[in-house]
Amino acid sequence: MLVVVALGGNAILQRGEPLECSVQRENIRTAARSIAKLAENHQVVLTHGNGPQVGLLALMNEAYSDVAPYPLDALGAQTQGMIGFMFEQELRNFMPDRKVCTVSTQTLVDPQDPAFSDPDKFVGPVYSKQQAEELLKKNPGWAIKADGKYFRRVVPSPMPSEILELPSLRHLLSSGDITVICGGGGGIPVKRINGKLEGVEAVIDKDRASRVLARDIGADALLILTDVAAVATQYGDPASQDIRLATPDKMDSFGFSAGSMGPKVEAANGFVRDGGKLSGIGSLEQAAEIIEGLAGTTIKAEVENEIQYYSSIEQAAGF
């Protein structure tokens, strides 16, 4: 099958970890091992988030106070190169006889998208309340919101409408034997004004962009890999159940939070409604098992009784 794998930026630099290259490299190596296992039986297109990385580059801007800061679209392009090269290298190490290619991609957005008036996409490291207040004083143009017990910078996250490099991606994938890394950070956000492309000060949600990419390349499956084993009906509640298999309509009925599982479920549901065979949400380490329905949460158009849960024993065992 042709499988789009969407990997979160926090899996590359996990929450609370130091923003260091060696830490990022080690996490990418772990991710590449799992993706290489999946690629043994499927053609993989890998997308990845970049929230911590683009936030770090934005902070580095401050070291050059006499130079105009680079905009978010340029920083997003930098993260595509940095993260893409590391993934390409590690995947080649795990798959020495396979072809791997990284493609810088741009994602078209509507300049009138309401997201520009209500920033909600987290980028960069986490801060204490005191640190957040100090940063707002230094950067009055920033917006900062609570992220659990911490605080993080937020930026606009407009809806993606088109991946501009789609014809080139289709050409690469037509060979059937190339693992492609693309759509980093949801793609470099751009708008079209009077027929000309311009960068946009925003960050696109990588799950939403991955849905558009998966739909438009005709992928069979979309896997969204994160730091939980499966989607829980009520995360943190003792009465919560882990979902094994469900329809998009049933997944919608749980009303998942926009700040956590919501965008992932939205993208997974949307891909199936677009005609995809299946979507999966689950742990990074279990990518190959998720695609076989042996782990994680699988979403399909037709499911007996609309939903199936893992048993309490399976939950306790972590599948």
Summarised one tens digit per residue, pLDDT across range 37-79 is 999 999 999 999 887 788 788 778 777 877 777 888 999 999 9
Q: What are phi and psi of 25, to 5 degrees?
A: -60, -45
Both structure tokens of 102: 């990284």
Distance separating alpha carbons of residues 78 and 84, to the nearest angstrom:
10
CATH of domain 2-113+161-317: 3.40.1160.10
- Domain edges within the chain: 2-113+161-317, 120-155
Distance separating alpha carbons of residues 187 and 201, to the nearest angstrom:
13
Both structure tokens of 300: 């399909």
Please report where in the chains the tokens 């699988």 appear, as a residue. 298
Distance separating alpha carbons of residues 38 and 279, to the nearest angstrom:
15
CA-wise closest residue to 107 among 32, 217, 208: 208
Distance separating alpha carbons of residues 206 and 184, to the nearest angstrom:
7
Residue 224, classified by CB atoms within 10 Å of its CB into exposed (0-12), middle (13-18) or buried (19+), is: buried
Summarised one tens digit per residue, pLDDT across range 118-159 is 998 887 778 899 999 998 998 888 899 998 889 988 989 999
Q: How confident is the model at residue 282 (pLDDT cuts 50, 70, 90)?
A: very high
In total, the chain counts a number of residues equal to 319
Distance separating alpha carbons of residues 221 and 10, to the nearest angstrom:
22
SS3 state at 165: coil
Summarised one tens digit per residue, pLDDT across range 5-42 is 999 866 787 777 777 889 889 999 999 999 999 999 99
Summarised one tens digit per residue, pLDDT across range 101-121 is 999 999 999 999 999 999 988
Angle at 88 between CA 83 and CA 94, to 5 degrees: 125
Catalytic residue annotation: 9-10, 121, 206, 264
Q: How confident is the model at residue 253 (pLDDT cuts 50, 70, 90)?
A: very high
Positive or negative: CA dihedral 158, 161, 164, 167: positive
Q: What is the DSSP string of 125-163?
A: EEE-HHHHHHHHHH-TT-EEEEETTEEEEEE--PPEEEE
Both structure tokens of 173: 């994938």
